Amino acid sequence: MAALGLSHTALGILALTAYALGAAGYAVNLLRPAPLAARAATVLSAAGVLLNFAALYRRASELHSVPYRDLLGSMALFGFFLGLLNLVLEARHRDRSLGAFLIPTALVFLLASMLITPQSRPAGPELRGSVFALHVTLNMLAYAAFAVACALSALYLVVRRYLKSVRLLGMDGPASRLPTLGYLERANRTSLGVGVLALAAGLILGIFWATRVWGAEHPRWALDPKVLVALLTLVFYAVITLRAHRGAAPVTTARLTVAGFLLVLVSYTAINLLFSRLHVFT
Amino acid sequence: MQLVYVGWDHHGAPLDLRERLALSPERAVEALRGLFEEQILTEGAIVSTCNRAEIYGLTERDDDFGALASYFSRFHSVDGDWLLRTAQSGRGDATVRHLFRVSAGLDSMVLGEAQILGQVREAHRVASAAKTTRAVTNRLFQAAVECGKRVRSETTLGTRPTSVAGIALALAGKIFETLTDKKVLLIGAGEMAELTTRLLVDDGVSDLAFCNRSEDKARALAQASNGRFVPWDRRVAAFAEVDVVLSATGSPEPIVTAEQLKKALHRRRGPLLVLDLAVPRDIDPAVDDLSDVYRYDVDALKGLAEKNAAERHADVPKAEAIVEESVARFDVWWSGLNQAGVLRGLHDKLEAMRRAELEKYAGKLSRLSEEDRRTVERLTETLVHKILHEPTVGLKEGDASERLERAAAVKALFKLEDER
């Protein structure tokens, strides 16, 4: 772990570089099959994920707390999960086309996290426990899984449109190199399942933590807009996932998944920054 | 000595002649050995497919075409005049260019077809195993395979299907991750159903169901390919149980309406690929409105096939440029084996070494008398001449292939560079 000798910013810059090169490799391979660029993209993205993790780890040791108790860290964690899920899906389904969409997104989140001024306030004792760490980690994993599901669903809709109009468009073009409908549907159901389980577990831990830490001081914590929207998100995704597993039309699942992610974005940004008084990053 | 080819292909030779000239690998080796015995060729290989029978080799004879045609006339018991009239042939660069174009699929009946590259590779493997190829034809065939691969990876030739069945399989490949675990329903029992069944089975499909108005034919097809039989009145319901439907009946009106299919697919999940190869169409086009149904009729499939073929044709100049580049590269290698050139190169290299050594010892040599210095000079010159004597004789001995093999060995051992 020689990389840990570097500051979290230096590690973040290295991760950004690896993500950028990896994303370029994936994009080149999507536009025109290029085996060398594709293999390089996988290696660089894996390096990006490791460096992203190293940056988080380094920041954790600097803060003496989980590195994602503020917006900066949580965005970096979100980028890390996106990169990791991309590698998991790639290894499992032997398909690299998703990387052209997920790695640039991971890069944007990591870059955004590096542009935000970090909070210098030290972590209070309530933010140091493992329950809080797991609560945030699982929620971030859930949001990353929903982002992946959104990308898979959007691709499903693109490929479906391509197949419905292939007689007009011909068989060439980047859409022809996207994954098969079968893969996109199956991977979407997996991502939705991971997201729902992670969010459910994360919320249960959150409730447990809030009851213990806020219970007396803020008895109305459960009415916080972010808590309510997170619960609504869980119910929404649980319904989509159950419907998908029980044989709902994949195109409906894809449309609902894309729409659902808008809800996640609202919860993740707008409510965080504008409405929630209690449940903001310290 | 020169490279030569004589061949009978779909351009000039009728099918019945091509059928008579087709050679199994064993017979091809036998033919080649006969050509060596009669000293028509010193090395060579035969490419024999359903569309061509071609021999490529190295010869020292001037009457090579006549000798080759006469030999094959005897070998196959075919009229010699007929062979001469229908043959394609060439010497030197024309031989190289022809094999490279063949390997690239530029000379095929279906432009860019995929099998020919494998057939060229196989022809080389057979000849090489029987030791009928040597330095030149080995290099020629290796370069031909490289050229064929380059054309396929850098142009659209060979990357897009141009047949209706090929397009159908390509579309299935865009919808499903694999076809091996998919269920296929074939409606109709004509030639199209039979052909497609063969293609699907080759692609790994094992779950086949057959349905036809006349039960006997469907039962026979089902039995022949270990498939299931589906009664005609269950055809619509059967759509819900499969992943791919291929319909090619002679029915004058649609055999499945959109309304019927909508009801049948009510509880079905996953995409359904419907290939309607019948004219008039078997499947109501309104099924396109069903969200998970992907229907393609003959017009659509033919349209895609023609579009792909047009795109392949548009890439022909690019493919020809790759062929010319490969021919030029082979030419550089071939010219490098020129006997006089190799000897000149070897002489120049040894002479340069001699001079360098004399230069190195110039200080010590300056202490010698003028006469002694001249003696040393003569001694080194004699050494170089003596060293050169054996290779000079060796490069002129043996048949053309042996001489070229030795030239190639000398070039490799002394690291002589090709003259460009």
- The answer, for B320 touching chain A at a CB cutoff of 8 Å, is no
Interface probe for B, chosen from A156, A167, A168 (most Cβ of B below 10 Å), is A167
For residue B400, pLDDT over 80 is answered with no
Q: Which residues of B34-64 are buried (b: 16+ CB within 10 A; e: fewer)?
A: ebbeeebbbbbbbbbbebbbbbbbbbebeeb
The C-alpha angle with vertex B28 and arms to B22 and B30, in degrees rounded to 5, equals 130
For residue A282, pLDDT over 50 is answered with no
Give the dihedral of Cα atoms B176, B182, B186, B187; nearest 10 deg: -80
In whole angstroms, give the CA distance from residue B199 to residue A133: 56
Cβ–Cβ below 8 Å for A182 and B271: yes
Closest chain B residue to A187 measured between Cα atoms? B177
Cβ–Cβ below 8 Å for B271 and A176: no
Secondary structure (H, E, C), chain B? CEEEEEEEECCCCCHHHHHHHCCCHHHHHHHHHHHHHCCCCCEEEEEECCCEEEEEEEECCCCHHHHHHHHHHHHHCCCHHHHHHHCEEEECHHHHHHHHHHHHCCCCCCCCCCHHHHHHHHHHHHHHHCCCCCHHHHHHHHHHHHHHHHHHHHCCCCCCCCCHHHHHHHHHHHHCCCCCCCEEEEECCCHHHHHHHHHHHHCCCCEEEEECCCHHHHHHHHHHCCCEECCHHHHHHHHCCCCEEEECCCCCCCCECHHHHHHHCCCCCCCEEEEECCCCCCECHHHHHCCCEEEEEHHHHHHHHHHHHHHHHHCHHHHHHHHHHHHHHHHHHHHHCCHHHHHHHHHHHHHHHHHHHHHHCHHHHCCCCHHHHHHHHHHHHHHHHHHHHHHHHHCCCCCHHHHHHHHHHHHHHCCCCCCC
- Give pTM, 2 decimals: 0.67
- A167: nearest CB among B267, B300, B308: B300
Q: What pLDDT, on a 0 to 100 scale, did the predictor assign at position B151?
A: 92
Q: Which residues of A touch B296 (CB under 8 A)?
A: 166-167
In whole angstroms, give the CA distance from residue B31 to residue B45: 10
Q: Which residues of B touch A93 (CB under 8 A)?
A: 177
Q: What pLDDT, on a 0 to 100 scale, did the predictor assign at position A86?
A: 92
pLDDT digits (tens, 9 = 90+) for B236-265: 999 999 999 999 888 888 999 999 999 988
- B304: nearest CB among A170, A186, A252: A170
Q: Which residues of B touch A165 (CB under 8 A)?
A: none
Structure tokens at B292: 């998970």
* Nearest C-alpha neighbor of B65 from the set B49, B93, B43, B41: B41
Structure tokens at A67: 């590195």
Cβ–Cβ below 8 Å for A176 and B174: yes
In whole angstroms, give the CA distance from residue B11 to residue B109: 8
Cβ–Cβ below 8 Å for B160 and A159: no
Cβ–Cβ below 8 Å for B270 and A164: no
Structure tokens at A156: 């499903």
In whole angstroms, give the CA distance from residue A120 to residue B116: 69
Asked which of A271-280, B85-94, B334-343, B404-413 is least confident by mean pLDDT, the reply is A271-280
Cβ–Cβ below 8 Å for B177 and A180: yes
- Compute the nearest-CA separation of B158 from chain A (Å): 13
Q: What pLDDT, on a 0 to 100 scale, did the predictor assign at position A19?
A: 96
pLDDT digits (tens, 9 = 90+) for B22-77: 888 899 999 999 999 988 988 999 999 888 999 999 988 877 788 888 899 999 99
Cβ–Cβ below 8 Å for A167 and B311: no
Q: How large is the average pLDDT for residues A23-44? A: 89
The one-letter amino acid at B84: L
Cβ–Cβ below 8 Å for A172 and B160: yes
Task: Say which residue the tokens 């850098």 belong to.
Answer: B154
* Nearest C-alpha neighbor of B97 from the set B47, B61, B147: B147
Asked whether the beta carbons of B254 and B282 are under 8 A apart, the reply is: yes
* Nearest C-alpha neighbor of A213 from the set A141, A281, A138, A278: A278
Cβ–Cβ below 8 Å for B308 and A170: yes
Catalytic residue ranges of B? 50
Q: How large is the average pLDDT for residues A183-205? A: 91
* CB within 8 Å of A38: residues ≥ 6 apart: A25, A26, A29, A96
For residue B339, pLDDT over 60 is answered with yes
Q: What pLDDT, on a 0 to 100 scale, did the predictor assign at position B56?
A: 95
- β-partners of residue B48 are B53
- Compute the nearest-CA separation of A93 from chain B (Å): 9
Asked whether the beta carbons of B317 and B309 are under 8 A apart, the reply is: no
Chain A residues near any Cβ of chain B (below 8 Å)? 93, 159, 162-164, 166-167, 170-172, 176, 180-183, 185-186, 247-252
- Compute the nearest-CA separation of A196 from chain B (Å): 22
> What part of B 294-313 touches A (C-beta under 8 Å)?
294, 296, 299-300, 303-304, 307-308, 311
In whole angstroms, give the CA distance from residue A197 to residue B97: 63
Q: How many CB pairs under 8 A join A and B?
A: 64
Asked whether the beta carbons of A81 and A194 are under 8 A apart, the reply is: no
Pick B265 or A33 by higher pLDDT: B265
Structure tokens at A29: 């391979």
Say how many C-beta atoms besides its own lie within 10 A of residue B113's C-beta.
16
Q: Which residues of B touch A164 (CB under 8 A)?
A: 288, 294
Asked which of A143-147, A257-261, B99-103, B401-405 is least confident by mean pLDDT, the reply is B401-405
Closest chain B residue to A177 measured between Cα atoms? B174
Q: Which residues of A touch B306 (CB under 8 A)?
A: none
- The answer, for B358 touching chain A at a CB cutoff of 8 Å, is no
B185: left (phi over 0), alpha (psi -120 to 50) or beta: beta
Cβ–Cβ below 8 Å for B291 and A251: yes
Average pLDDT, chain B: 87
pLDDT digits (tens, 9 = 90+) for B97-156: 999 999 999 998 878 887 889 999 999 999 999 899 988 899 999 999 999 999 988 888
Asked whether the beta carbons of B229 and B210 are under 8 A apart, the reply is: yes
* CB within 8 Å of A213: residues ≥ 6 apart: A126
Cβ–Cβ below 8 Å for A181 and B175: yes
> What part of B 263-292 touches A (C-beta under 8 Å)?
267-271, 288, 291-292
Cβ–Cβ below 8 Å for B177 and A250: no
Q: DSSP state, A220?
A: T
- B304: nearest CB among A93, A159, A167: A167
pLDDT digits (tens, 9 = 90+) for A69-126: 666 777 888 899 999 999 988 887 778 888 998 999 999 989 988 887 665 555 555 5
Structure tokens at A179: 């994954």
Q: What pLDDT, on a 0 to 100 scale, did the predictor assign at position B150?
A: 92
Q: How confident is the model at residue A281 (pLDDT cuts 50, 70, 90)?
A: very low
Q: Which residues of B134-172 are buried (b: 16+ CB within 10 A; e: fewer)?
A: bbbbbbbbebbbebbebbbeebbbbbbbbbbbbbbbbbb
Q: How confident is the model at residue A2 (pLDDT cuts 50, 70, 90)?
A: very low
pLDDT digits (tens, 9 = 90+) for B273-302: 999 988 889 999 999 988 889 999 888 888
Q: Which residues of A touch B311 (CB under 8 A)?
A: 170, 172
pLDDT digits (tens, 9 = 90+) for A213-261: 766 666 666 677 778 888 888 999 999 999 988 878 889 999 999 988 8
- Compute the nearest-CA separation of A191 from chain B (Å): 18
